[in-house]
Structure 1
């Protein structure tokens, strides 16, 4: 029963394989062979009641027809290498199966009579068995071959769709990384130039703090520069930069700036975009405490909602408070975009005034 053979091809969808001999061998998978043998056994069992020959002999014939049909079906998927434009390969495979079924049946019966064609034609039982096997194969085989080709094409389409989806996600990730690098490049010079401008002010005014501040700045930059090229570090690393920066600013204006950094230790291991918190701290110094005649105090804190997992990270100052342009600057807009790219669209930056005066900038996000 060569019907098992096309069915075996249908049973295991063929994904894209190498061409030529390698593709042919790859298409003869163990699962296809096992399925072919199983279908040959079922076919022999169904035909056994109408055959005089013993079941083992009948099984041998169905196995022969089934395996040969599977081999030719797989071979037709590779050869000939080139076909006329008007001849689809699936048509060739179906035609090959339809041709193999009767020929394989005739061959197996000729082997049974040692190639004596007249003896085969005179034996009514053998001739009837040949017709039964070949006829059943011709009825079922091409349909099974078409089903196999359909499943193969469907599997290839799904595989290609998954491949395109993977490429799309990789391209989107590369685009996000490129945007993060661009925004990081905008943050770095902004921070460095502002810090150097503070040192220049001390030098120009002849402040005795200029030397210690410059020394602290050098030590700070030595530790900070390797991190400037990183898109993400830990919140603990970011807090190290924040403390170093605030210490520098405290040395520049020791009577006008006080600060405290109180972040729970369990949050320091969270992945966090580099320079994001430092941007808020720098804004608090530059736009809050520095313009105030009395100076001010900066508090850096954080907490996590144990129910929702939402993390709140804030920088609060007691400086001059919110100006008309607060929140509209490039630095804060840049920060909003970076947080959205890093933590998703739910991440946000909220600004609010604190009585009697001052500003609270709060980052809210859910860690991945």
Structure 2
């Protein structure tokens, strides 16, 4: 407004008339700018139609200049007749109007485009999160019948030969499944709680395999509160039992070890295996594949599950970054 008044005074208008002209013209220019920005809030042109904005800016600038003349003409002292004499301020008024309205239009197009892109990004992330949650639930749900069928087959084999053990196994299976249903409500569990639930599963397997299955759990007390995705260990231990016991008639020991490495919880499940007779010494069956996929969905990393075999031991290593 000050520049406007100064330019008009340079054309010979008094400071009073220049100030009135500046006030009226810039107030109307502000209204036109608001009109354009409000329109862009509800309609943004396609990328190849920005020429429409240029035409719109020119038309609004022309409308603003004519409206300014009309309003000033209604004021005393015939201000409009003097300020709008052809050849005096028409060109500069039009240039200033196009410049300011064009800049205003560009700023609002960029602003609303960024907002639109942010909303689309938020919707995409929400859809991905929902898809990831659905897949995680599907992976966990697939584990239940996988384990349940094995247990029911074992119970079926024990019913005639060892009915007492069959009843014990049914009770342990019920306790395990009841705990599993409770855990479905949580994505994360304390390591101590996960180990307690895992012990129910191991009790079932010990009824199934008797003295042939031994387990050693080495979890430092300091790591008992470490966080771990619910039901993450059971498929790995099931895999260790499968490939540790199925190819031998001798007793075996499965070790479950936890340690801290920086901000990560490292879990190792070790089971003996014979590389000559083992059907899948380097395998990643359904259980291990489900662990790897869950870790990838949760942390976006594909290297959090590792398997290795040496000196008659098959080692499954699970790395769990701890939540902040």
Which interval holds the TM-score relative to the shorter structure? 0.7 to 0.9
Correspondence for 2:173:
217
Query: Counterparts of 2:174 and 2:86 in 1: how far apart (Å)?
Result: 94
Of 164, 186, 199, the match for 2:120:
164
Counterpart for residue 46 of structure 2: none
Contact map agreement 2:272 2:313 (CA 8 A) in 1? yes
Q: Give unmatched runs, 5+ long, in structure 2.
A: 44-48
Hey, what does 1:11 align to over in structure 2?
none
Of stretches 276-285 and 209-218 in structure 1, the one that deviates more from structure 2 is: 209-218
Is the counterpart of residue 99 in structure 1 residue 54 in structure 2? no
CA contact (8 A) 2:84 2:90 kept: no
1:158-197 maps to which residues of 2 (within 5 A)? 158-197=114-153
Does residue 361 of structure 1 match 2:322? no
- Alignment partner for residue 59 of structure 1, among 12, 19, 27? 19
Alignment of 1:285-304 (within 5 A): 285-289=241-245, 291-304=247-260
- Counterparts of 1:320 and 1:231, CA distance in 2: 38
Q: Helix, strand or coil: the match of 2:249?
A: coil
Distance 1:360 1:207, change over 3 A: farther
Question: Which residue pairs with 2:204 in the alignment?
Answer: 248
2:99 is aligned, of 143, 150, 164, to: 143
Over the aligned positions, Cα root-mean-square deviation in angstroms equals 3.5
**Residues 288/93 of structure 1: CA separation in 2 closer, same or farther (3 Å cut):** same
Q: What CA distance in whole angstroms lies between the structure 1 residues aligned with 2:35 and 2:235?
A: 66
Deviations 1:304-356 (A, max 9, x none): 212xx34321111246568232314233223322222222224332223353x
Are residues 193 and 128 of structure 1, via their aligned partners in 2, closer, same or farther at CA, if it must alter by over 3 Å? closer
Q: Deviations over 1:270-306 (max 9, x none)?
A: 5533332100111222331355322111221111212
Structure 1 residue 65: deviation in Å? 1.0
How far the C-alpha of 1:167 sits from its partner, in A, is 2.5
Q: Check 1:144–1:135 CA distance in 2 against 1; reply closer, same or farther (3 A cut).
A: same
Tell me the TM-score normalized by structure 2.
Answer: 0.79
Give the direction of change, closer, same or farther, for the CA distance of 1:331–1:223 in structure 2 (3 Å limit). closer
Contact residue 24 and residue 72 of structure 2 kept, 8 A? yes
C-alpha offsets along residues 6-43 of structure 1, whole Å, 9 cap, x if unaligned?
xxxxxxxxxxxxxxxxxxxxxxxxxxxxxxxxxx1343
SS at match of 1:359: strand
Structure with greater contact order relative to length (CA < 8 Å, sep ≥ 6) = 1
TM-score where L is the length of structure 1: 0.71
Alpha-carbon distance, 1:206 to partner? 1.7
User: Taking structure 1 as reference, are residues 134 and 264 closer, same or farther at Cα in structure 2, changes over 3 Å only?
Assistant: farther
Separation of aligned partners in 2, 1:120 and 1:286: 95
Within-5 A mapping of 1:21-170: 40-45=1-6, 47-48=8-9, 51=12, 53-54=14-15, 58-75=18-35, 78=39, 88=52, 91-105=55-69, 107-108=71-72, 110-113=74-77, 126-127=82-83, 134-170=90-126
Is the CA contact (8 Å cut-off) linking 2:216 and 2:254 kept in structure 1?
yes
* Count, aligned residues: 312
CA shift for structure 1 position 265:
4.5
Distance 1:127 1:358 in 2: 96
Unpaired runs of 5+ in structure 1?
Answer: 1-39
Deviations 1:159-198 (A, max 9, x none): 2222222232233333323332332222111012222223
Distance 2:3 2:24 in 1: 14
